[in-house]
Amino acid sequence: MQALSAISNHDLRDEIKAYWSLRAETFDSQPGHEIFSEEEKAAWHALFLKHLGQGQGRSALDLACGTAVVSHLLDDLGFRVTGMDWAEPMLERARAKAKARGRQIRFLMGDAERTMEDDDSYDVITNRHLVWTLVDPLACFKEWHRVLKPGGKVLIVDGDFVNTSKLTRLLKMLTRMASRAGLARDALHGAPSADMADTHNRILSRVHFSGGAHADAVADLLRQAGFSKVTVDHNMGAIHKAQRKNFSFFKGLERATQHRYAICAEK
């Protein structure tokens, strides 16, 4: 694997793109990214139905779609889905997955912060674990507001993984101890190598939400961007419960104590 720390003459956005391009290699093998049970799939469906309703042929833009996990959930619910990502290795896997499953999902190479899509062109915009990486979230949210039709909704799924509680930090430490004893192989979930972990931390230190993407801060920027009826939903318990079956004991508990949320906002 190419060492990202060796990349030079790249600005922050280039480094983020390169990071996710390399993460594509193992993305679908990691719990919390791909879905590994019908129980978890049903929990995600319930979250989307709660905030977005049935698709009924409405158009949905899944930004930073990665390997299209969320795109497939939207397709399940009857949305007409476009998945957009700027990492070609992610899109290669997304297209292959859709073809294997017989899904009619449209995929575009594009930037979530500058979509190049027409005004008022989508009923729904979704993204998962994107907001923490944004360089200029206010400008980005204004872009999403522009692309949505009047009455359209954006649904953000993300979290503050910087400002962790004492309990979360304790569980993280216990996970690492279990890993050293050979009892928890997922202790470095999300950072499969020391180099990737260093790159992740270097990126995090330079993005807008370097101090953590707390739900209230994200919701405030959505309002500044022109959105109304902004709803913050912390009820992710059903998803976390289903995911725990694919995590080690302490890792599953750690995940459930993190500040994770879904935010729905309307144009």
Q: Per DSSP, which regions of the chain are E strands?
A: 59-63, 80-85, 106-109, 122-128, 148-160, 228-233, 259-266
Looking at the predicted structure, is the pLDDT value of residue 193 above 60? yes
Q: Nearest Cα to 33, choosing from 192, 180, 152? A: 192
How many CB atoms within 10 Å of residue 183?
13
**Chain-centroid distance, C-alpha 155:** 11
The string of pLDDT tens digits covering residues 99-136 is 999 999 999 999 999 999 999 999 999 999 999 999 99
Q: What was the pLDDT predicted at 187?
A: 46
What is the pTM for the complete model shown?
0.84
* pLDDT tens-digit series, residues 33-49: 889 999 999 999 999 99
pLDDT of residue 186: 54
Comparing 34 with 253, which gets the higher pLDDT? 34
Domain 4-162+193-245+260-266: assigned CATH number? 3.40.50.150
The partner residues of 47 in beta bridges, in order of sequence, read none
pLDDT of residue 194: 67
Q: Given this model, what pLDDT does residue 56 score?
A: 98
Residue 97's φ and ψ, nearest 5 degrees, are -65, -45
Please name which of 32, 38, 54 lies closest in space to residue 123, comparing C-alpha atoms: 54
pLDDT reading at 143 higher than 50: yes
| Mean pLDDT, rounded, for 154-163 | 90
Banded model confidence at residue 163, pLDDT cuts 50, 70, 90: confident
**Residue 178 and residue 149 in contact, taking contact as beta carbons nearer than 8 Å:** no
User: Count of CB atoms within 10 A of residue 216's CB?
Assistant: 11
The 10 Å CB-count burial string (b at 16+, else e) for 247-258 is: bbebbbbbbbbb
